[in-house]
A and B are shown apart, each in its own frame.
Chain A
Amino acid sequence: MATKVFMEALSPTMEEGRLVKWLKNEGDAVKSGEALAEVETDKAIMELVARGDGVLRKRLIAEGDTAPVGTLAGVIATADENIDALVAGAGKTAPAAGAPAPEKVVANQQETAGASSIPRRAEESQGEASTPPQQKVADAPPAAPAAGAAPTSSGSAPAAAGDVRSSPLARRLASERGLDLHSVQGSGPNGRIIKRDIEAAAAAGAATPRAAASAAPSAPAIPREGDFHDEPLTQIRKTIAKRLGESIGPIPTFYLTAEFDLTRVMEMRKAMTELGDQFKVSVNDVLLKATAVALSQHPEVNAHWLGDKIRYHNRVHLGMAVATDEGLIVPVIWDADRKRMSDISREAKELAKRARERKLKPEEFTGSTFSVSNLGMFGIDQFTAIINPPEAGILAIGTSEEKLVVVNGEPVVRSRVRVTMSCDHRIIDGAVGAKFLQTLRRLIENPLMLVY
């Protein structure tokens, strides 16, 4: 039986992909799971894999062409199977939320019903071993009622409800029932989700309870139970959120700047480098590690704003802003507080390299609990970074340089670095942020504590 190859949603936000290169020729034998082509998503270059065994009989998207998610990209079949009907259907897309008119959806569903493969989201294609637990949890909820009909970014995508068409009533009902609109199939014009769709989804129990997965606008996939605890907003936190949001909104941010002495970090680096190249770490590596350790001691800063509650994370997943030719991306070092400095050093280098090559997998740039941005290499003395929502803060690191400072009444030359923490005031108060920076100062100015 023939297997259709679809342009799949290979990143949580992907809506179309550019077929960079076919890795198989027409006539090549392919096995399920084998890479067929390289596809450039909005974030990275990913592999499109075969969903069935057979021969790649037809390639329907030319190299270099861009096609919407759900487009028929090729056909896998036995060597002698008649695939004319399938090929004739090329140019049509698989039923994707928000695309065709209702009648058309029905027609397309019937058309795909006979195919042995229905396109799934990227995460499933990457195999069990390489799929980190947080992705699996996020994907666990079953598909929308129209079974298997959504080869789109809809499912667990951490995107705002704004990209789903829905009636105001449907939005309100979904919110009251704790349904994620992304998991509901719309039956109105242009895929608009209307009241009856919400009722159907609720009746089928098919839609994702929001708290379980994409808990709030742009909340990343979150690991299993126990990795965090949620606290309902206290009245004072609600008032702070409301009042300060009116002042500078929607994230009422304030900034704390501190200058740390790097003398001991420099001594440590020097000593480690003398031990051999394998022990070499950068100042940035030390700052990453110190930030992660400080976060583990200050869960009140390692938090997400979820609108009606604050999620305090027990694990520290540190996002690090990386500039690429295409723009900023924030890969994540998972459990950074528990990793050795050498691991952080290696991982940071690797993630930065793959970010620049646009080879990051979705799980490598989602799920951070706090972020760091470093412009020191550009000679920036200090700057303010923009918070990556829903995180509570971001640390902006300036350049480290020698300065004349006064120590015990004497002018001396010291290596110094300025950091500025942007804080979401709805979560963090001034003193809380300051205490975090106090801890960070203690760690950076006494880096031996990092190996404790």
Chain B
Amino acid sequence: MPVITYRDALGAAIREEMQRDDRVFLMGEEVAVYQGAYKVSKGFLQEFGEMRVVDTPITELGFAGVGVGAAMVGLRPVIEFMTWNFALLALDQVVNAAAKMLYMSGGQYKMPIVFRGPNGAALQLSAQHSQAWESWLAHIPGLKVIAPGTPYDAKGLLKSAIRDDNPVCVLEGEMLYNTKGEVPDEEYLIPLGKAELKREGEHCSIITHGKMVLVAMQAADQLAKEGITIDVVDLRTIRPMDVEAIAASVKKTNRAVVLEEGWEICGVGAQVVDYIQRDCFDYLDSPVIRVHQADTPMPYAKGLEKAAKPDLPKAIAAVRKVMYLD
């Protein structure tokens, strides 16, 4: 099976969907002439032309609104944000227009739109450009939120997102774009709302998504050397969340660590813990521990940034704690 990058997997997903359905188009800053800020849309302008690969000014609210209007009249826009940090300016269109349109029009307007871009911290981009937004977006009824952690998931989930008749927010990662993985040539789709058990173990569950899936897998590798085997549950979709997958894993292992990039307070992990306590109370052998970013703006200084981020040592320490090993 071919091994490709996360970046190319995303590009392949959009290209295939654009080839399949001429209502699909890509719009955003630097997507066309520059071939994409992160080269996801490399070659798109040449293949599909400027009517379907549209460069925009630096006007997030504006082009998000154009996308919403296009979706209302039957097109299927893919809106690229250079980063979700910039998408803050467009949140009125995402939250008040896209998420509400089906509801407020009494079902007259579907909203087949995808908002996508990198999410969370890269390296030393400082406080304003290192934020993980999934708990903001997942809070909103009417939105779907996905956070693929591997090239395979990125392609399969993005294709499903483009075909979905509801607004879907796709949280990618600057640090993920260059990661590689096996992606088949044949077409496939991954349904939204389904988690995947990325690793099977019996001693502890790590429930995670997006960029942190890689950290969870490394933690599982390292702990396996001590004879501790980990269930790695990759949520893949934050909303709607796969509650059954979480419960099945925790009921098996009796212990859980929830690992995420974002901040602690009202984070995605808080929701996961709530599902666990509701569904798995009698199966828990220890309180669930969350691993997340420190409760502070992301520091620019390299050492402080490292200290603030969730990482492999923190994930391993959390597993050892829920297992009463320390």
- Tell yes or no: A169 within 8 A of B by CB: yes
Least CB distance from B276 to A in Å reads 11
Enumerate chain B residues within 8 angstroms of A168, measured Cβ to Cβ: 281-285
A167 vs B284: C-alpha distance when bound (angstroms): 7
Q: Inside 8 A of A104's CB, which chain B residues have their CB?
A: none
A202 to chain B, nearest CB (A): 15
* A-chain residues with CB within 8 Å of residue B282 when the two chains form the complex: 168-169, 171-172
Q: Determine if A188 and B283 form an interchain contact, defined as CB atoms under 8 angstroms apart.
A: no
Taking CB atoms and an 8 Å cut-off, the chain B residues in 267-284 that contact chain A are: 281-284
Give every chain A residue within 8 A of B283 (Cβ-Cβ). 168-169, 172
| Across-interface contacts of A315 in B (CB, < 8 A) | none
Contact of A374 with B by CB under 8 A: no
Is there an interface contact between A169 and B324, defined as CB atoms closer than 8 Å?
A: no
* Interchain CA distance A172-B281 in the complex, whole Å: 10
Contact residues in B for A172 (Cβ distance below 8 Å) = 282-283
Distance of B167 from chain A, by nearest CB (Å)? 39
Q: Say how far B254's CB is from chain A's closest CB, in angstroms.
A: 5
Instruction: Tell me if B286 is interfacial: C-beta within 8 Å of chain A.
Output: yes
Nearest CB on B from A4, distance (A): 30
Chain A, interface SS category: helix
Within 8 A of A (CB), among B249-300: 254, 281-286
Q: Which residues of B contact A167 (CB under 8 A)?
A: 284-286
- Which residues does chain A contribute within 8 Å of B254, judged by CB atoms? 169, 195
User: How far, in angstroms, from A171 to B282 measured CA to CA in the complex?
Assistant: 8
Nearest neighbor of B254 in chain A, beta-carbon distance: A169
Which of B282, B284, B324 is most buried by chain A, counting CB atoms within 10 A of its CB?
B324
Q: Which residue of A lies closest to B277 (CB)?
A: A168
Given known contacts A169-B254, A195-B254, A187 and B324 CB-to-CB distance under 8 angstroms: yes
Check: A50 CB closer than 8 A to any chain B CB: no
A194 touches B324 (CB 8 A): yes
B:62-113 near A, CB below 8 Å: none
Residue in chain B with minimal CB distance to A172: B282
What is the bound-complex CA distance between A82 and B122, given in angstroms? 67
Encoded as 1 (CB less than 8 Å from any B CB) or 0, chain A from 191 to 220 comes to 000111000000000000000000000000
Most buried by A among B283, B285, B324: B285
- The 5 closest A-B CB pairs, nearest first, are A169-B285, A195-B285, A167-B285, A172-B282, A168-B282
Q: A169-B282, A171-B282 are in contact. List 10 more A-B contacts (CB 8 A).
A: A167-B286, A168-B285, A169-B254, A169-B284, A169-B285, A172-B282, A187-B324, A188-B324, A195-B254, A195-B285
